[in-house]
Amino acid sequence: MKKALVCGAGGFIGGHLVKKLKKDGYWVRGVDLKHNEYSQSLADEFIIGDLTDATIVASVCNLPFDEVFQLAADMGGAGYIFTGENDANVMHNSASINLNMAHYATKVGVKKIFYSSSACIYPAYNQEDPSNPNCAENSAYPAAPDSEYGWEKLFSERLFMAYHRNYNLNVRIARFHNIFGPEGTWTGGKEKAPAAVCRKVAQAIEGGSIEIWGDGKQTRSFLYIDECIEAVQRLMLSDFTEPVNIGSDEMISLNNLAKMVMDIAKKPLSINNIPGPLGVKGRNSDNKLIHEKLGWKPSKSLREGITATYSWVKQQADCK
């Protein structure tokens, strides 16, 4: 039986990944600061621990795991990473986790380690035109991420690649582009755009309005969680060790995303564009490399994923 360690197992992607690994017959150890708020973990062993602490990392990495998934990070949506208020914590906490994980994974001889980087590493100067952003993997340098969160991700990509070169740590690195779906943070300040928009629509009064930060013309693409997990597992099966995008290339403006949610909810509302933390003007996953190397591309439309997510967020909001 294969043994996997999932760091960040109490989070959104980690929670879904544990479920999938258990379905595939793995023995799984999960680690996180907290349990998942929305579902009971299926992990065989769930350790509550702080991965910024090297002694904790040494103890959770005490087996030569077949696969380690390093998803733990101090992160959130635009309201968390673009205000500047959390920069020091984001950089310190996530970098400490990654420094510890790369070191102890090497020391114990894990067979393969996955690191979740982000689209936030891409240079702001290539994402000023909302209709034509460039997020090809080879456009990452000269580096100019638009947030400290992005700088830390870029540093940690380089860290894992250095361990690969110097100590043969068998790494797989994905740059996730806005992953969304049920059982993700939907309220409290760390939620991302799809869940936030679903919540606003679910909670709005009939005929009322919702607020969207900025002019709403900023564009993004969003990948449904099941597709993300499938791509991660394909990457782990491959021998590709360079960073690669895992995202959707179905780009949409934030105002149009809001309209899509209203349409799914059958709830017409007006949009009030207000000042708020924003990030770059346009971002879209460039999927040429992943398609070439892994033969992977997303199979679900954004609308299908948003339909499932809206129904889950509405249920959560109704229970509050």
Q: How far is the CB of 207 from ligand NAD (least distance, A)?
A: 32
Residue number with CB closer to ligand NAD (97 or 264):
97
List residues binding ligand NAD (CB under 6 A).
8, 10-14, 32-34, 50-52, 71-75, 93, 97, 116, 118, 176, 178-179, 185, 192
C-beta separation of 245 from 119 below 8 A: yes
Residues 275, 238 contacting (CB under 8 angstroms): no
What tokens does 2 get?
Answer: 């294969």
Instruction: Provide the minimum distance between the beta carbon of 111 and ligand NAD in the complex, in angstroms, as a whole number.
Output: 21
CA distances from 161 to 101, 124, 138, 300 (A): 13, 23, 15, 32
Which amino acid appears at position 280 of this protein?
V
Q: At closest approach, how far in Å is the CB of 54 from ligand NAD? A: 12
Catalytic residues: 149
> For ligand NAD, which is the closer residue by CB, 130 or 279?
279
Nearer to ligand NAD by Cβ, of 120 and 265: the residue is 120
Nearer to ligand NAD, 8 or 305 (CB): 8
Structure tokens at 43: 């992990």
Q: Which is nearer to ligand NAD, 12 or 104 (CB)?
A: 12
Nearer to ligand NAD, 62 or 272 (CB): 62
Using DSSP, state whether 263 is helix, strand or coil: helix
Would you tell me how many other CB atoms lie within 10 Å of the CB of residue 263? 14
Minimum CB separation of residue 120 from ligand NAD in Å reads 7
User: Contact 30/18 with Cβ under 8 angstroms?
Assistant: yes
CA atoms within 13 A of residue 159's CA, in its CB half-sphere:
24
* List of residues 6+ apart from 73 with CB closer than 8 A: 8, 93, 94, 97, 116
Q: Minimum distance from CB of 266 to ligand NAD (Å)?
A: 27
Selection from 44, 37, 49, 40 nearest residue 7 by Cα = 49
Q: Which residue is nearest to ligand NAD (CB)?
A: 11
Residue 199 CB, nearest approach to ligand NAD (Å): 16
Give the three-class secondary structure for 227: helix
What is the distance between the alpha carbons of residues 71 and 32, in angstroms, rounded to a whole number? 10
How far apart are the C-alpha atoms of 105 and 97, rounded to whole Å?
A: 12
